[in-house]
Structures are given as C-alpha cells and as structure tokens.
Amino acid sequence: MTIEDVAKKAGVGIATVSRAINDSGGISPKTKALILDVIDELGFIPNTSAQSLKVRQTYQIALAVPDIRNAIIPDIAWSVEQAAKQHGYRVVQINTAGNARMELETVREVKKLHVDGLIIMPLAYPKTLVQMINKASVPVSIINYGKKLEDSVKADVVSMARQEGRLVMEHLIKIGRTRIAYAGAPKDKIEERYFAYEASLQHVDPSLVYFGEDFSFETGLRAADYFFSLKNMPDAIYAVNDMVAIGIVNRFKELGVRVPEDVAVVGIDNNVWTTITTPQISSVSIMGEEVARLATELLLKRIREQGAGAYERVQFEPRLIVRESSVAVIRKSSLDT
C-alpha cells in the first residue's frame, strides 16, 4: 500500500495526503479526517524512515543504563519511556554494565543508533567522559548518581542524590548501633556512598567492609556469609543498594540471624521489593522515576530548541524510609526479668 493509493481513494493529491500525515497545516479539518479514515481503512503505514531523512529527526532517543538487573533501573526506564511517548518519541535502550569503555563508546558512537538525543546514567565515569559528551553529535542528558561533575560538561544534569549515605549512617547511629558494617560493589563504583560511611565513623574497621563484584542480590548473599563468619558480627549493615540489602536479609534468615534484633539492615533506592520482603527493608528513596522524567523532558526540550539555552543542573533530595529492618530495638539485659 502506497501514499498514491491513499490519495486516489480519498480523491486528493499526494501533497495533501503528506500534509495530513505530517500534520503540517494547509488542509481543512474535514479533508484531514477523510484522509486519516482512508489510511485506517487501507492499512497504510507511512515510511517513517523517509520522513526522518526529510526533517533530519528520527523521533528516537537512547537511554544508556549501567545494569538492567538492578531493580531500580526498570522503573527509571519506564519513566523515560512514558515521558518520551508523550512527545511522540521512542526509546532505544543500551546496557553499559557500568563499564568505562562501554560508557565512552556509547557517547562516541551514539549517532550510529539513529537517535536525536541520549540519556546516560554513568557508573564508571571514565576520565574522558566529559570531553566525549562535549563533542557528542546529539544533545545529552545525564542521570547522575551523585557524582560531582565538572561545570564545563555540556549536558543537562539531573542528580538523584548526594546525601543518601549520610542519611543511612545517621539513622543507624541514632538507633544505637555501634558496630556498623558496609556492604558494597567495587569501591570505585558509586564511591560517594562508601565515603559517607567513612566520614560518619571516627575509625573504620576493615573487617566490617565488604566489597563485592556488583550491585546484585548475589553480592548481598556473599556479604551476609562473610559477616556471619566474623567472630564479632556487626550489629548493623549499610548496604550500597536495595538488591544487596535484600540478599543480606534473605541469607541471614537462612542462617538464623534476626533482623533487626541482631543486625539492622538499610539499603538505598527504595525499590518495590523492599516492601514485600520479610521483614520489610528500610531504604533511602533517591526519587528515581521523578529524576528520569525530568531528564527526559530536559533532553526533548533541548532537541526541540536545537541545543539553545544554559545547561540545567537539578539536584533531588533523598528521603529515608524507615521500615522493619532497622526499627529501634529495646534489648533486655541479663538482669531483666
């Protein structure tokens, strides 16, 4: 089925059909409605590739995420997709695995994806990333995990949080925990979360720090096994994210360790899984869906305005959500009856 068939059936010229499809004006509402009805009747599908070449736009954007297995990422991806869809855009998703080479390659070769813009969530933050973004062939919007970025970066930056680790540590200290452990991914990944742990303590006991391979449930399982093997277990654990926290809580349940009575556990992200575990897990909300929507809106605005205007810097404030895994526990002494 071709545009000529639609024009013949509707009794109009090809140019009139094109105006109706592209909503470009110069056509009466009655004629436009007739043409759209014919398109539906004939099952005609406009050649979007040809349209894209004509207007030099693809109406697609790319979203580069560090690890689709992390439970917060699907929520972010969904929010980006919904915001893009409202403006007639589709989303191409890329998984960088938090790898520096992949992050650089994504920015450098983004035009090969046939997209009009890129939203990237850097995790590795290679040294040359800012330089690459500044030379990118399409506008870039950054969803930032709280890393302090150079002012020179030519991208709109929406940061999810910077004080989430401090909120966790303040809470654990407030409820009376004194032997607080840290369970995280490699130290160079979201290192600000570990720095908050260090900054909250006068002295860091290296035996209470576990760096796993990634941000997964399995890392949490291994962290729990490690802490359980210590002669003097921690009485609280600050987990780098919710998936690690969930792994810890589940493994402790198998090992007979009570949460929060023996060990309090707090994560970061506030994904939905924290509310359906037993016990429910305390977490810091980093407003992922809201951040993703704003990053998308800023990118689409920059695409429409062809890069005009000052680059935005938006910081969302984290919120601690206290649940069963870290409620204050009144411990009875041996003298109590």
Model confidence at 247, pLDDT cuts 50, 70, 90, reads: very high
Task: Give the C-alpha separation, 215 to 90, whole Å.
Answer: 28
CATH 3.40.50.620 fits 3-46, yes or no: no
CB atoms within 10 A of CB 309: 11
Looking at the DSSP bridge assignments, the partners of residue 29 are none
Task: Give the C-alpha separation, 337 to 41, whole Å.
Answer: 82
Rg (CA), the chain: 26
Mean pLDDT of the chain: 88
Residue 98 has pLDDT above 50, yes or no: yes
Task: Give the C-alpha separation, 279 to 259, whole Å.
Answer: 7
CB atoms within 10 A of CB 115: 23
pLDDT digits (tens, 9 = 90+) for 105-138: 999 999 888 899 999 999 888 889 999 999 998 9
Mean pLDDT for 211-221 is 93
Residue 216 has pLDDT above 80, yes or no: yes
Range from 165-174, 192-201, 248-257 carrying the lowest mean pLDDT:
192-201
pLDDT digits (tens, 9 = 90+) for 33-74: 898 888 888 887 766 545 544 445 778 999 999 988 888 899
DSSP H or E segment with residue 161: none
Residue 162 has pLDDT above 90, yes or no: no
Which phi and psi (to 5°) does residue 232 adopt? -120, 95
What is the CATH code of the structural domain delimited by 164-285? 3.40.50.2300
What is the CATH code of the structural domain delimited by 60-161+287-318? 3.40.50.2300
Residue 10 has pLDDT above 60, yes or no: yes
Same fold, 60-161+287-318 and 164-285: yes
Which phi and psi (to 5°) does residue 62 adopt? -105, 145
Check if the beta carbon of residue 280 is closer than 8 Å to that of residue 324: yes
CB atoms within 10 A of CB 39: 21
Domain extents in the chain: 3-46, 60-161+287-318, 164-285
Residue 227 has pLDDT above 80, yes or no: yes
Instruction: Compute CA distances 101 → 44, 77, 109, 132, 206, whole Å.
Output: 43, 22, 12, 12, 30
DSSP string, 318-331: PEEE--GGG----P
pLDDT digits (tens, 9 = 90+) for 307-335: 678 899 998 889 999 999 999 876 544 44
Model confidence at 190, pLDDT cuts 50, 70, 90, reads: confident
DSSP string, 174-229: HTT--SEEEEES-TTSSHHHHHHHHHH-SS--GGGEEE-SSSSHHHHHHHHHHHHH
Which phi and psi (to 5°) does residue 304 adopt? -65, -40
